[in-house]
Amino acid sequence: ALGNTVVCVDQNEDKISQLHEGKVPIYEPGLKGLIQDNVEQGRLTFTTDTASAVEGAEIVILAVGTPSLPGGEANLSYIEGAAREVADAMNGYKVIVTKSTVPVGTNDRIHSLIASRTSYSFGVASVPEFLREGSAVADTLQPDRIVIGASDPHVAAVLCTLHEPLTTNILTTDIRSAEMIKYASNAFLATKISFINEIANICEKVGADVTRVAHGMGLDQRIGSSFLSAGIGYGGSCFPKDTQALIQIAGNVDYEFKLLKSVVEVNQGQRFNVLRKLEEALGDLEGATIGIWGLAFKPNTDDVRDAPALDIMQSLLEAGAQIRAYDPVATANFRRLLDSSEVTWADSAREAAEGCDALCLLTEWEEFGEVGLGELNELMKYPIMIDGRNVYSEEQIRQSAFAYYSVGRPQMNNMDMVRQRSVMNP
Ligand SMILES: NC(=O)C1=CN([C@@H]2O[C@H](COP(=O)(O)OP(=O)(O)OC[C@H]3O[C@@H](n4cnc5c(N)ncnc54)[C@H](O)[C@@H]3O)[C@@H](O)[C@H]2O)C=CC1
Ligand SMILES: O=C(O)[C@H]1O[C@H](OP(=O)(O)OP(=O)(O)OC[C@H]2O[C@@H](n3ccc(=O)[nH]c3=O)[C@H](O)[C@@H]2O)[C@H](O)[C@@H](O)[C@@H]1O
């Protein structure tokens, strides 16, 4: 979009052929149009052939996956594999940038690895990525900041020139600090989420409202209002893996990152509060029909990696419940990770709610808030809502006949209505 010529390489032939056909392999608002515009302008092409892409490039950006290994540390085999392929395709000086999230010291390893395979000179830099899924295009084109970690002033200058049209907020620093900025940022955001979730859990017991508490806290500029939405914990492909990786990075130098370990533990427990509340409302879940609204780890994405819905639905199935589940875009991806004859995959939010003993709202897709609680009440067997994202307002809940469990807000337990209905319709 800034006028550079870009060749995207992926080993996955299916992804590349979809892109050639004008399709986008992931759901990400605004991405299709951005790709289309740049393909039409002749600046953007796709290939599975690394060598041809590298040969024509001045700058090579490595953005392959760094998933967790079973012990929590980052799996560096993809980034090392990509670095080897780049080294073998070198035909002159290039700046090689790591955008994947990698442990401190990885860029030094990449430098040595490439140097051992080519005699061409090259520069290495760490330029971590801070975009969020669901708002990736806007985050990329209007970033809060760009961090450039480079030891060579020429490399830093080339990358500053590349990024200058995006922001004036460019920080140039050493490579190891850049690598650490990425992990520290994600770990800090994850800490904010676990902190507010614990405050929410206390609010539930003392009769305070966490949404008001977060608002009041956020007015202090030192705290800031973002990432203080209490819920069912963070999921996704990054916070879970990056917090685990940073705990490992610290452990490797004999430092126990106690705070971050607690953040992870709190997060894991938070998603199971949904089940605790369901049991409180319904008792035994065996044979109960539970509606699930939202399978993606957050709205506006079809990414289900480490989505809270996975653990929650798994536990519901183990407890013998029947499930009616709906997500606007993530169902196909979700079914690749969890499928069962006990789950009905609904085509709409309303269809998922039909006949349910209780409904769990797990992802705050905008369309869920647009279904009125009055209408839901008609559709469901019992008006019981476990809202994991605090979507409905106090006013809406008060006007409804729902037994309504939210996160960190006073419980509005209209259990009389539920009891009445259960007598009439056991
Ligand atoms: N997904 C996100 O929102 C963000 C991701 N990151 C970081 O970016 C990196 C990538 O993340 P995702 O895009 O989510 O991973 P992903 O797993 O969705 O995609 C990685 C892609 O790399 C391809 N690949 C692997 N080895 C290759 C090779 N040698 N040559 C060509 N292609 C190869 C795979 O086929 C795959 O399509 C990770 O380190 C992640 O932590 C950072 C910020 C945001
Ligand atoms: O390294 C990464 O991959 C990215 O990880 C996160 O981005 P992402 O995971 O896409 O989405 P977020 O908006 O951060 O949400 C992560 C999770 O936290 C949860 N969350 C977020 C904010 C909040 O206040 N409360 C809360 O529970 C969301 O529901 C979601 O499950 C970071 O926000 C990005 O800056 C970073 O680049």
Q: Is 82 near ligand 1, meaning CB less than 6 Å away?
A: yes
Confidence of residue 410 (pLDDT cuts 50, 70, 90): confident
Please report whether residue 284 resides in a domain: yes
By residue count, the chain amounts to 426
Of the three residues 173, 192, 220, the one that is the final residue of a domain is 173
Confidence of residue 363 (pLDDT cuts 50, 70, 90): very high
Q: Which residue's CA lies nearest to atom 29 of ligand 2?
A: 298
Q: Is 294 near ligand 2, meaning CB less than 6 Å away?
A: no
Please report whether residue 358 resides in a domain: yes
Q: Is 66 near ligand 1, meaning CB less than 6 Å away?
A: yes
Of the three residues 173, 205, 222, the one that is the final residue of a domain is 173
Looking at the fold, whether 219 and 154 belong to one and the same domain comes out as no
Give the per-residue pLDDT at 414: 66
CA-CA distance, 202 to 207, in Å (whole number)?
8
Please report whether residue 402 resides in a domain: yes
Which sign does the torsion angle of CA 250, 254, 255, 261 carry? Answer: positive
| pLDDT average, residue stretch 12-31 | 97
Please give the number of the atom of ligand 2 that sits closest to the Cα of 227: 24
The conformation of residue 405, written as its DSSP 8-state character, comes to E
pTM recorded for the entire structure: 0.96
CA of 251 to the centre of ligand 1 (A): 25
CA of 130 to the centre of ligand 1 (A): 13
Residue type, 119: S
Looking at the fold, whether 113 and 248 belong to one and the same domain comes out as no
Confidence of residue 262 (pLDDT cuts 50, 70, 90): very high
Looking at the fold, whether 260 and 275 belong to one and the same domain comes out as no
Please report whether residue 21 resides in a domain: no
CATH number (domain holding residue 414):
3.40.50.720
Q: Which two tokens stand for residue 128?
A: 């971590």
Looking at the fold, whether 375 and 358 belong to one and the same domain comes out as yes
Please give the number of the atom of ligand 2 that sits closest to the Cα of 128: 37
Q: Is 238 near ligand 1, meaning CB less than 6 Å away?
A: yes
Q: Taking each helix axis from N to C terminus, what angle separates 77-89 and 106-115, rounded to the nearest 10 degrees?
A: 30
Q: Which residue has the tokens 């610290």?
A: 250
Please report whether residue 1 resides in a domain: no
Looking at the fold, whether 295 and 317 belong to one and the same domain comes out as yes
Assess contact for 55 and 48: CB atoms under 8 A.
Answer: no
Q: Which two tokens stand for residue 9?
A: 């390489």
CATH number (domain holding residue 189):
1.10.1040.10
Q: Bigger pLDDT: 401 or 306?
A: 306
Please report whether residue 226 resides in a domain: yes
Tens digit of each residue's pLDDT (9 = 90 or more) over 162-188: 999 999 999 999 999 999 999 999 999
The conformation of residue 345, written as its DSSP 8-state character, comes to E
Confidence of residue 426 (pLDDT cuts 50, 70, 90): low
Say whether 238 is catalytic. yes
Give the per-residue pLDDT at 386: 97
Q: Which residue's CA lies nearest to atom 8 of ligand 1?
A: 100
Q: Is 129 near ligand 1, meaning CB less than 6 Å away?
A: yes
Q: Is 9 near ligand 1, meaning CB less than 6 Å away?
A: yes
**246 annotated ligand-binding residue:** no
Ligand minimally distant from the alpha carbon of residue 236: 2
Of the three residues 264, 294, 313, the one that is the final residue of a domain is 264
Residue 416, pLDDT > 80, answer no
Please report whether residue 29 resides in a domain: no
Q: CA nearest 308: which of 244, 231, 242? A: 231
Q: CA nearest 360: which of 320, 419, 404, 393? A: 404
Looking at the fold, whether 79 and 143 belong to one and the same domain comes out as yes
Looking at the fold, whether 54 and 128 belong to one and the same domain comes out as yes
Q: CA nearest 59: which of 156, 146, 143, 128? A: 156
Please report whether residue 351 resides in a domain: yes
Q: Is 273 near ligand 2, meaning CB less than 6 Å away?
A: no
**227 annotated ligand-binding residue:** yes
**291 annotated ligand-binding residue:** no
Residue 218's domain comprises: 182-264
Looking at the fold, whether 246 and 290 belong to one and the same domain comes out as no
Assess contact for 174 and 163: CB atoms under 8 A.
Answer: no
Q: Greatest CA separation found in the chain? A: 82
- Could you tell me what percent of the chain has a pLDDT over 70? 97
Coil, helix or strand at residue 44: strand
CA of 85 to the centre of ligand 2 (A): 31
Residue 25's contacts (CB-CB under 8 Å, 6 or more residues apart) are: 14, 15, 18, 19
Looking at the fold, whether 283 and 418 belong to one and the same domain comes out as yes
Ligand minimally distant from the alpha carbon of residue 267: 2
Q: Which two tokens stand for residue 171?
A: 């920080």
Domain count, the chain: 3
Looking at the fold, whether 291 and 409 belong to one and the same domain comes out as yes
Q: Which two tokens stand for residue 391?
A: 């979507």
CA of 233 to the centre of ligand 2 (A): 10
Looking at the fold, whether 163 and 215 belong to one and the same domain comes out as no
Looking at the fold, whether 168 and 124 belong to one and the same domain comes out as yes
Please give the number of the atom of ligand 1 that sits closest to the Cα of 66: 39
The conformation of residue 333, written as its DSSP 8-state character, comes to H
Tens digit of each residue's pLDDT (9 = 90 or more) over 37-73: 999 999 999 999 999 999 999 999 999 999 999 999 9
Residue 234, pLDDT > 90, answer yes
| pLDDT average, residue stretch 420-425 | 64
